[in-house]
Structure 1
Amino acid sequence: MKRIVGLPCVLFSLMLLCCSCFGSRQINELAIVTAVGLDVGENPEMVKLSAQIIRPADARGQTGAPSGGTGQPIYSVSAEGKSIFEAIRNLGRFTSRRVYWAHNFVIVMHEDYARRGIKDMIDFFTRNHELRMNTWIAVTPDSPDEVISTITGLEVVPGEAVNRLFRDNKIVRLAVGSNMMSLEESFLSPSTEPVIAKLQLVSRGISNKKPGEHGSLKQVELAGAAAFKEEKMVGWLTLKETRGLLFFLESLESGIEVVACPDPSRNLTVEFKNVKFKVTPDVQNQKPQFKIQLTTSADIVESNCEETPEEILGQIEEKLQQELKSSIESVIKKAQKQYKSDFLKLGDVFRNSYPEEWRGVKANWDESFAAAKTTVEVEAKIKSAVLKAAGTGVK
């Protein structure tokens, strides 16, 4: 009797095991996308979508010499459509596998596409349940399909190389860490405008076959940023302006700065750290204003000056303060006067401190932000004049 009672349970378990793979997707049936490019089509009203698809069998080797197959670790393909979704569907006309987005590392947009507006891109990729919200977003002045298909660095898959550039950006600190989550957040915010990292191709690589020809290979560089107003790109930020921007967006805690020696033909490098950055909003005559304060300590890590660091310590501190203040003031000027776009998140700071006054300026925040008075104060102290490179492995 016990065996008869237990029989349905056994049969039910077997049914679950048989159905466990129902609806599953086999890897050899999928076109796994690792990078996406978006551009304006031949017809300006069309969207050109480029996809970097990995070849699992050819990307197994991590030495740059894949084994088996065609020898190419990636397959790059592009299609056009009236919308992003139609362009993707058009890929299916000549791609033998279903496009799969869950492993996509980066979306790279051309400058022309970004200036036209990116609302459709944000809408589509945030609706796509396969896409991860930590997917990196970048803008490029170069061809996106070339950027996402350029094998660069130590990785055999270009999308993974760009992913690592973004992950290690916290060391170099010359670009914003823009991903889909931060982009959607700023796009939906009533007080903050989007800002996206800049990717570009530079001729810096050295071919093993042509070691004497520097720049014989193109490399992907992550540096700078693209500023937006609402959904449209309005212009670029330089490396100096991007460095200043990071204090506002990513709590930049350390970095390096090269300052001139008393002899301007020589330089000295300092590493600043323990940065404390504070934005204090205020209201004067019903108009917002901001006081920006930065304090930091620094070590000298390299000197080419004729004088010893101890002899020019005060001059080094003053020049470091000037460089840091200049980078902050330059990005504020670009945001307020040229682009009139609050990608510095000053509106968020003002709204949190003065909710009543915010309601009065919310409707015309662009104008209020552009007219707001800002003051910048920087204090830097050299705590060690002994030459060392902290955090670099150099003793």
Structure 2
Amino acid sequence: MKRWLCLFMTFLLLLLTTSCYGLRQINELAIVTAVGLDVGKTPGSVKLSVQIIRPADARGQTGAPAGGTGQPIYSISAEGDSIFDAIRNLGHFTSRRVYWAHNFLIVMHESYARRGIADMIDFFTRNHELRMNTWVAVSPDPPDEVISTITGLEVVPGQAVDRLFRNIQIVGIAPASDMRSLEEAYLSRSVEPVLAKVQLVKRGISNKKPEEHGSIKQVELAGAAVFYDDDKMIGWLSTIETKGTMYFLQKQKSGIEVVACPGSKDQRVTLELKDIRLKVTPSYANQTPRFDIRMITHADVVENNCEASMRDIREATERTLRDKLTSDIEQAVAKAKQYHSDFLKLSDVFRNKFPMEWQTLGTDWNDIFAKAETSIEVEATIKSTVLKTAKQEVK
């Protein structure tokens, strides 16, 4: 008996001293931080581009490699009949296994998005290594160029775009679109996806040639791509249309508006919106849906370049602010109706209030939504009115 007990204890100790199951050495992996998808040269094919981090050369934190002698990233592309086939073809010229767990971004070219992104959604939601909070965007520029552009502040381009997405809600000119929100809209019966627009803009200034302003391309996150029929891109939203859309999608609580001073086209007053509340009330009569949209907010003056005191021009400035916010929302609603794409999620509020009617209207909702009546009411007040110009204070 003691002999069997000793054998059992020895076997148990051997199990405890074994290495980690499924261990993968970092020097054996090609760690992907950004992915680009484009149409291939042959009809129906996919061009996959990946940004692979080089750990030894990406340890610097000032925008330049510090741990090695090469570039902080390594970008490669391959084509295939499907995304998975393209990934397998990467193995023809990369010596490491592709590892997705640290991927920040998926960028699709406009032509790829217009063809349909159902295959992308299917593959990346099945991939157990990919995180569902991975950002997703559409670009009019080649994706392989977007994911390879090194910014001045971050060593890894994928990480730079990741931080752009995390801060974008402050300005509200692009949606914080990730795989989770994309899959939710794709699986919805009526809501259509809307993804952020990323592009390259010549804005960077070379330290060696500061006189050549705009000589370096930088990644810009502004605007959005709108989809219909679940997975096909139909068009773009401008920054103004996107700003109006964000009030519906991401419940913006704050924002910045710059409006003209009363009686002047050249002078401006900058207002910071606080506690923004948007409510959509649906109704249904004569077989036609109607949506009453109401926004309530107040604003603080953060910069006043008007000649008059804000106390004197408060009411006129409030009217201008209300007109500006109303116009932003109107443009977003008009674009949704033009595209026959309910990316504003108005179907959700209608279905919650009229579940029986939805059973009939839901099948052709995008066409019905395009004919729906809408009314927009904005209540905006300016709270801080004590700031005056220097000339008025000196008497």
TM-score, reference length from structure 1: 0.95
CA contact (8 A) 2:33 2:52 kept: yes
Distance in 1 between residues matched to 2:171 and 2:160, nearest whole Å = 15
CA contact (8 A) 2:283 2:289 kept: yes
Q: Is residue 66 from structure 1 mapped to residue 65 from structure 2 by the alignment?
A: yes
| Superposition deviation, residue 6 in structure 1 | 5.0
Which residue does 1:289 correspond to in 2? 290
Distance in 1 between residues matched to 2:386 and 2:184, nearest whole Å = 44
| Superposition deviation, residue 271 in structure 1 | 0.6
Give the number of aligned pairs. 386
Distance in 2 between residues matched to 1:345 and 1:6, nearest whole Å = 67
Distance in 1 between residues matched to 2:386 and 2:130, nearest whole Å = 49
| Superposition deviation, residue 307 in structure 1 | 1.1
Which residue does 2:341 correspond to in 1? 341
Question: What amino acid sits opposite 2:186 in the alignment?
Answer: F
Which residue does 2:392 correspond to in 1? none
Which residue does 1:32 correspond to in 2? 31
| Superposition deviation, residue 23 in structure 1 | 2.8
SS of alignment partner, residue 342 of structure 2: coil
| Superposition deviation, residue 64 in structure 1 | 2.3
Question: What amino acid sits opposite 1:317 in the alignment?
Answer: E
Which residue does 1:393 correspond to in 2? none
Distance in 2 between residues matched to 1:114 and 1:150, nearest whole Å = 21
Question: What amino acid sits opposite 1:14 in the alignment?
Answer: L
Which residue does 2:151 correspond to in 1? 152
Distance in 1 between residues matched to 2:83 and 2:344, nearest whole Å = 30
Which residue does 1:124 correspond to in 2? 123
Q: How does 1:172-251 map to 2 (within 5 A)?
A: 172-229=171-228, 230-251=230-251
SS of alignment partner, residue 57 of structure 1: helix
CA contact (8 A) 1:45 1:82 kept: yes
Which residue does 2:393 correspond to in 1? none
Question: What amino acid sits opposite 2:85 in the alignment?
Answer: E
Change (3 A) 1:55 1:112: same
CA distances 1:189-238 after superposition (whole Å, capped 9, x unpaired): 00100000000101111111111211111110111100000211000000
Distance in 1 between residues matched to 2:147 and 2:132, nearest whole Å = 19
Which residue does 1:252 correspond to in 2? 252
TM-score, reference length from structure 2: 0.95
> Which runs of 4 or more aligned residues in structure 1 lie more than 2 Å from their structure 2 counterparts after TM superposition?
1-7, 20-23, 67-71
Structure 2 residue runs without a partner (length 5+): 389-395
| Superposition deviation, residue 373 in structure 1 | 0.4
Distance in 1 between residues matched to 2:99 and 2:368, nearest whole Å = 45
CA distances 1:78-97 after superposition (whole Å, capped 9, x unpaired): 00011111000000110000
CA distances 1:123-145 after superposition (whole Å, capped 9, x unpaired): 11011111000000000001100
Distance in 2 between residues matched to 1:297 and 1:74, nearest whole Å = 46
Q: Is residue 139 from structure 1 mapped to residue 138 from structure 2 by the alignment?
A: yes
| Superposition deviation, residue 17 in structure 1 | 2.2
| Superposition deviation, residue 69 in structure 1 | 3.4
Distance in 2 between residues matched to 1:87 and 1:278, nearest whole Å = 46
- Aligned residues: CA RMSD: 1.5
| Superposition deviation, residue 254 in structure 1 | 0.7
| Superposition deviation, residue 279 in structure 1 | 0.4
Question: What amino acid sits opposite 2:335 in the alignment?
Answer: K
Structure 1 residue runs without a partner (length 5+): 389-395
Distance in 2 between residues matched to 1:370 and 1:269, nearest whole Å = 35
What percent identity do the matched residue pairs reach?
Answer: 66
| Superposition deviation, residue 2 in structure 1 | 6.7
CA contact (8 A) 2:36 2:107 kept: yes
Distance in 2 between residues matched to 1:111 and 1:34, nearest whole Å = 21
